[in-house]
Structures are given as structure tokens and as C-alpha cells.
Amino acid sequence: MYEIISAGYGRQELRLLGVGPGGPADVARDLRLTMTLDGDFTAAFAEGDNADVLPTRSMTNAAACFVHDHVDAAVEILAPALGTHLLRACPAASTASVTVAETPWTRLPGSHHTFASGPGDQWLADATVRREPAATRVVSGITGLHRAVTTGSAFTGFLVDDYTVPQAVHADDRVLHLSGELRWEYDSPPSDHDRYRAEVLGAFTGSTLDQRSRSSQHAAYLSARAVLDACSLVASVTLRFTHHAHAPLDLAPFGRVGRGRVCLSTDSSSGTGSITLRRVPG
């Protein structure tokens, strides 16, 4: 005797490029979508009965049509709209989850239809649409963040156990390179998601300027707090980060003293962390 605790399916990492011609200039949206339906799909999984299964090809077609119809919409608008449609289209589903990640394309100055794109920050929206009780939750985000300071970060006064070599990790001043993602929820959604996302990113970036921190955890807190301080509509913010190691090399045997630093960078093992800050009423 077996009991299915949960079941779901969907389409992952669907890459779509939406192009909106006309007007003073074209619009280009480079999007990656992941769509998941969860609910009572017992017959499909246990018996091979597909009567309740909305084909993933249909989900793909719906996503393409929604991108076509909402090519100017922010990812925070597109994700819940698509999730609401998928929930209506599949009665067996109790929850539809849609994640839309956008790699911004920048129109070259003076051009109508020439764009440049590259690695960097990505815009993100996670939408969860529930049938009972009816509810929609949207989490905004920016992924692919990379920020580094070459001075002003320390790591001292830490806990020491039998396996700690204090001199190996003690640092009065070091390079601090963090990468990761920033996600936040609103008390009430802004009228312009794209503009407000830029404000959130500006607050985060500004917090790293000449920042002085006592650890990667302290740096993450300072940046998350800066977002809440600067952005009144944001109710909570989560920062997930990876701390990339940059170990200074001893070049004194080669006569290189007091002439800057060279660090050995390695991704063989990295520290990670996360912090969520919520605005407290009053």
C-alpha cells in the first residue's frame, strides 16, 4: 500500500525572446520561465491516466502568448498573470508556480533596434497562485549579483575550536567578494515595478560603497538594512550570498613589499549565508 504525499510537474528553464516592434524604438525581453503545477495528479502518476494533465507543450504555448501580449510588462506582472491562467486551465492543480528571470537587453544609443546584452544582474519574479484559499504571492528579486570591496572588511574575534588555526583566518583587512541574489516582498505593489527595482538595486549598491564590515555576515546585514531604509514599499528582504575566497600571496621573497597585493582566488570551496530582514510596524 502506497500513499502519494505530493505530486507536480511542469516546464523548466523555457527560454523566450519577446520582441515588440513599433513606436520610437523596439522592445526586447530575454526571459527564462519555469512553470510548475502541483495538485491531485494521483491518477496520472500511479495509473498513467492523463485526463487531468495539462500538456507541458500547452504551458509553453501559453507562456509564449503571454510574453507576446505583455511584452512591455515587468516580470512581476507577467509571472502572476501566467500563473493564474495555468491554474484555471488545469482544474486538478491546487497551486501554480511561475518563475520569470530576465536578462536585461540594453538598446544602443541612437539605435532603433540594436541591443547589447551580457552577464550581470538578472531581474526575477516568483509567483505562487493558490486555488484554496485563493491567494497570490509575488516575490521580486535580482540574481547574479557580484559586489566586492578591496579594503574595509575584517574578520576577527571568531569562535575557536580544536580544528581552528586562528592565524589562517584572522584578517584585520581583506578583500571581500560576495555574489548571490536579493529577493523582496512589498507591503503594496508599486505602480512601476521596473523603476522601483532600480531603486532597490541602487540602495543595495550604494550600501557597498566604502562599506566597512566585520564579516561577510555583517556586510550582508548592512546591505539588506539599507534596502529597507531606502525603499518604503518593501516589507521584507532576503539576501543569499556566496563568499568567494581571495587569499593574499606572500611576494616578499621577490622584493614586492608595500606595492599592493596579489590574491589567489579559488572556487574550490566557498562560504555561504543568508539573512532575511522584515520591517517592524511602528
Confidence of residue 119 (pLDDT cuts 50, 70, 90): low
Q: Is 9 helix (H, G, I), strand (E, B) or coil?
A: strand
Q: Are 75 and 82 in contact (CB under 8 A)?
A: no
**Mean pLDDT, residues 125-130 taken together:** 98
Q: Which of 232, 171, 177, 223 lies closest to 202, judged by CA?
A: 223
Q: Which tops the pLDDT comparison, 125 or 24?
A: 125
- For the packed helices 193-208 and 75-89, what is the interaxial angle rounded to 10 degrees? 130
Strand partners, 237: 184, 277
Report how far residue 207's alpha carbon sits from residue 104's, in angstroms, rounded to the nearest whole number.
Answer: 23
Q: How far is CA 190 from the centre of its chain?
A: 19
| Those residues with Cβ within 8 angstroms of residue 101's Cβ, 6 or more apart along the chain or in another chain | 31, 32, 33, 75, 122, 123, 124, 143
Higher pLDDT, 147 or 132: 132
At residue 230 the predicted structure's pLDDT band, cuts being 50, 70 and 90, is very high
In terms of average pLDDT, the best of 58-62, 174-178, 276-280 is 58-62
User: What integer pLDDT is reported at residue 245 of this predicted model?
Assistant: 79
**Model pLDDT for residues 63-72, shown as the tens digit of each residue:** 999 999 999 8
**To which residue does cell 527560454 refer?**
15
**102 vs 215: CA distance, rounded Å:** 31
* 33 sits in which H/E element: strand 27-39
**Would the pLDDT of 163 be above 90?**
no
pTM of the model: 0.86
Instruction: Check pLDDT > 90 for residue 191.
Output: yes
